[in-house]
Structure 1
Amino acid sequence: MNKIFKRSLISAVVALGSTGAMAADHEGVVGVLTDYNVDLYGVAAISAFNQEDGNGYDYENESRVGVRAGKAFNDDVYIFMQIESGYVGEDGTGATLGNRDTFIGMKGDWGQVRFGRMLTPMYEVVDWPYSNPGLGRVFDWGADTKSHYDRKGDIARYDSPDFSGFSFDVSVGRGDKDVKGSNHFGAAAHYTLADAFTLHGGYEYNSNYEGDIDTKAYLAGVEIPLPGGFKVSAAYKYNDGVYNTAGANKGTEAEQDQISVVGEYWNGPWGYRLGYAANGDSDLDNNADVDDSDSVIAGQLMYSKNGFLPYLRIGQHDAGNLEDKKAFARLGIEYNF
C-alpha cells in the first residue's frame, strides 16, 4: 500500500513539474497553464411563484454560472471567450454549459466582434428594459405571432464603440442550420442625447424562419430618466411572422403589434417598478378571425443591499388567450458574483 502511494506521489510531482515546464515553453498557448485572465461569475437566484387557479406554488431556481477568459493578442486586439450555463430549473436539465451566451471574440478601440451563441441585437433591447417586471409573458416570449429569435447560435455579432452617445450592433448568421436558405440578420441602434433620454431601435429579418416563411420584426423605444429618482421606458414592437398559437391556424403567416410601458422609482436602496404590456389581435393571412389580444400589469418592490436584491412582484394577466385575467405573485432574491 505504501509503495503504491509513493509511486502515485512521485508520478504527481513529475506530472506537475512537466506541466510547469510545458507552460514555460508554450507561454500564451490555450490549454496550458499561463497568464490568461480567467473569471468565474454567476447569479444565485431563487423565487417562489404562485398563480391564481394554478396547481400551487413553485420554487423557480434561475441560478447559473459562467466562465470568462481572455488575453491581449497585440496592442490593438484583445481575444476573449465566454461559456455560460442555463438556469438550474427543477433538476438541472437546462443548466448545461453553453445553454446561454457562449462565444469567442475579439475587441479593441474599434468595438468588438463575437462568434457563437448570444442574444440578437434586437432581442437584447426587448429583454431589457421592456420585459421587466414580469412583462415577458406578453411582450417577449408570450407573443402569439413569432418573428424573431432571442438567444441564437450560429451567428456573428459586431458591437460598435460609443460615438458621442450613439452606438449600434449587427448580427448575421444561420437561422435553422438544417434548412437550406434559412439565414438571420439583426441590428439595433442606441442614442443617448445629453444624458436626458435614450432612444432604441431594433430590426430583425429571418429567411425560412419556419418552413418557407420569411419573418421580420422591428422595435422603437425610449428611456427617459426624470428628476427625483424616477424613470420611464416605453416601446412599440411589430411582428410579421408565424402564428404560434395551437389550433387550426398554427403555422399561418400573421402580423401582430405589441407595446410596453415601464415606470421606475428609486429612493436610496428601495426601488419600485410598475409595468404594463399588451398584444393586439393577430392579423392572419388566411383572414381567419382570432381574438388573441392579451395584456399584463405588474408591480415590483425591491431592496438593494450589498449586492443582494430581494423583491416582491405582484401582477395580473390573461396571456395565453385566457378567458379571465389571473393574478400572480413572486417572492425572490438574487445575488450576482
Structure 2
Amino acid sequence: MKTALIPTAAGLTALATPVLADLEYNLGSGATLTFYGQLNPAIISVDDGRDSETNLLDNDLSNSRIGLRYSTPFGNNTFQFRLETGLGLPNSSEVSQSGSDYSRFTRDDIRHFDFSLEGAWGQVSLGQGSMAADGVAENDLSYVGTALYSFTADANPSFLFRDGFDVLSGPAIGDTTDNFDGSRRGRIRYDSPDFSGFSFSAAAGENILDQEDENEYYDVAVFYNASIGGGAEMSAGLAYQERNGTDSDRSDIVASASVLLQSGLGFTAAIGDRDDDASGASDPRYYYAKVSYEADWLPMGKTGIGLHYWDGSDFNVDGSDSDVWGIGVVQEVKRLNTDLYLTYQEYDYSDSTGDFQDNSTIVLGALWKF
C-alpha cells in the first residue's frame, strides 16, 4: 500500500479561502476586463483489488486554472477575447500503480486563446477553444454534477485493471470508459441566437497544441435550455462530430439531457456511439443515467447527492463490457465560494481474455472558484 500525507477536510477548506477581491475592471467606453480562476485539490484513493494508493492531487475532473476575459462594444456587436490556462499542477491523470509522471506546465495546458464577435445574428469565434460539441455529453443540472457526471474516469484514468492472478495485465481505466464529449481545438466556430430555447453550433478545427496530430475535426450540435412548467428546468444537447485523418476517419453521435424539478429531484441521461474506420479499432457505445436530489439542509449552502450508472460495450477491444457505478455528495460553502465533495465509484471490466478485478476509487476534494 502506498499512502501520501493526508490533510484534513478543514485543511482542504483552508486551501479554498478567498484571497482575491473584485476582479472585474471597467476600462471605460463599455469595455471590461475580468480575471477568474479556480483551485481543485483532492485526496484520491484508488484500490485495484490488491493494493491501494492515496495521493493529494489536482483533480482532472476540473483542473486548477486561471483566465481573463476582455469585452468591448464593436458597433452593434460585442468583441471578446479569452485567455485561459491550467496551472500544470500534479494531476490525477498522471498517476498509476507504476508511480507518477508529472508533466508540469506544457502548452497542452492552454485551454483558450480565443477571439469572438457577437451580435443579434449570433457569434463567430476563432482560435483555441471549445468545438461545437464541447459539453454536449455533459448537460447536467444537478448540483452533485460538480463531482459526479457522465465522464467517470477523471480521478484514475492511468490505473490498470488487475486480473484474477493479481497481475496488472488489464487495460487502463481511461481506455475502458468515455463519454465522447466534444473537445477544444484551434477552430472557427459559429453559434446561432437562441430560438425558443434552441441554439445551433458548428465548428471546424485542428489540434494546434499537438504537432503530431494531423487530423481535421468537424462537428455540429443543437442545444435546448428552458423552463418546462411547474418550476422544472431542462437542458439537452445532440451532436455529430467527425475526425478526418491520414490513416482513418472516426465519427461520434452523442446526446444528453437533464431535468431538475422544483422539489430538488433531478434526472440525467447520456448516450454515445462511435464509428472508427481504423484497422482493428472497436466501435464502442455507452449509456449513462443518474438520479439526484438537492436541498438547503445546512446554513452554509446547498447540498447535492446523487447515484449514477455508466454502461459501455466494445471499449478498448471488441466484445468487451465496462460498467461503472458511483455515489457522491457535494456541499456548497457559499461564504467561501467553494464546493466540498466526496465520491465513491466502482469500475468493472471484462473482455475475451477474462474478467478483471474491480477498481474502486474514493475522492475527497474542494473546488474553489474566484
TM-score by length of 1: 0.75
Cα gap change, 1:278 to 1:335, in 2 (>3 Å): same
Tell me what 1:265 maps to.
293
Once residues 48 and 283 of structure 1 are traced to their aligned partners in structure 2, the CA distance between those partners, rounded to angstroms, is: 28
Report SS of the residue matched to 1:191.
strand
Cα gap change, 1:146 to 1:226, in 2 (>3 Å): closer
Match of 1:299 among 306, 322, 327: 327
Once residues 308 and 191 of structure 1 are traced to their aligned partners in structure 2, the CA distance between those partners, rounded to angstroms, is: 28
Structure number with the higher helix fraction is 1
Paired residues of 1:117 and 1:151 also in contact (CA < 8 A): no
Tell me what 2:123 maps to.
112
Match of 1:58 among 55, 65, 68: 55
CA deviation map 1:119-167 (0-9, x unaligned): 222231224438951642469x845599967433221112222111111
Once residues 305 and 131 of structure 1 are traced to their aligned partners in structure 2, the CA distance between those partners, rounded to angstroms, is: 13
Report SS of the residue matched to 2:133.
helix
Tell me what 2:273 maps to.
238
| Code of the aligned partner of 2:192 | S
CA deviation map 1:187-212 (0-9, x unaligned): 1112246525343211101211xx42
Match of 1:136 among 137, 142, 151: 151
Aligned identity (percent) is: 20
Match of 1:157 among 189, 213, 233: 189
| Code of the aligned partner of 1:263 | V
Structural RMSD (CA): 3.4
| Code of the aligned partner of 2:128 | R
Q: Which has the higher contact order (CA 8 A, sep 6+)?
A: 2
Tell me what 1:173 maps to.
205
Once residues 98 and 138 of structure 1 are traced to their aligned partners in structure 2, the CA distance between those partners, rounded to angstroms, is: 19
Q: Give the stretch that moved more between structures: 189-198 or 100-109.
A: 189-198
Q: Give the stretch that moved more between structures: 168-177 or 233-242.
A: 168-177
> What's the offset of the Cα at 1:219?
1.4
| Code of the aligned partner of 2:83 | I
Gaps of 5+ in 2: 1-26, 91-101, 158-173, 297-301
| Code of the aligned partner of 1:280 | S
Match of 1:39 among 21, 34, 57: 34
Once residues 43 and 329 of structure 1 are traced to their aligned partners in structure 2, the CA distance between those partners, rounded to angstroms, is: 22
Once residues 132 and 241 of structure 1 are traced to their aligned partners in structure 2, the CA distance between those partners, rounded to angstroms, is: 30
Once residues 274 and 153 of structure 2 are traced to their aligned partners in structure 1, the CA distance between those partners, rounded to angstroms, is: 13
| Code of the aligned partner of 2:311 | A
Cα gap change, 1:179 to 1:335, in 2 (>3 Å): closer
Paired residues of 1:82 and 1:104 also in contact (CA < 8 A): yes
Cα gap change, 1:55 to 1:182, in 2 (>3 Å): same
Report SS of the residue matched to 1:50.
strand
| Code of the aligned partner of 1:225 | L
| Code of the aligned partner of 1:271 | G
Tell me what 2:83 maps to.
83
Cα gap change, 1:84 to 1:97, in 2 (>3 Å): farther
Match of 2:239 among 186, 198, 202: 202
Report SS of the residue matched to 2:196.
coil
Match of 2:113 among 92, 102, 122: 102
Cα gap change, 1:254 to 1:174, in 2 (>3 Å): same
Once residues 132 and 349 of structure 2 are traced to their aligned partners in structure 1, the CA distance between those partners, rounded to angstroms, is: 25
Cα gap change, 1:182 to 1:281, in 2 (>3 Å): closer
> What's the offset of the Cα at 1:225?
2.2
Paired residues of 2:321 and 2:350 also in contact (CA < 8 A): no
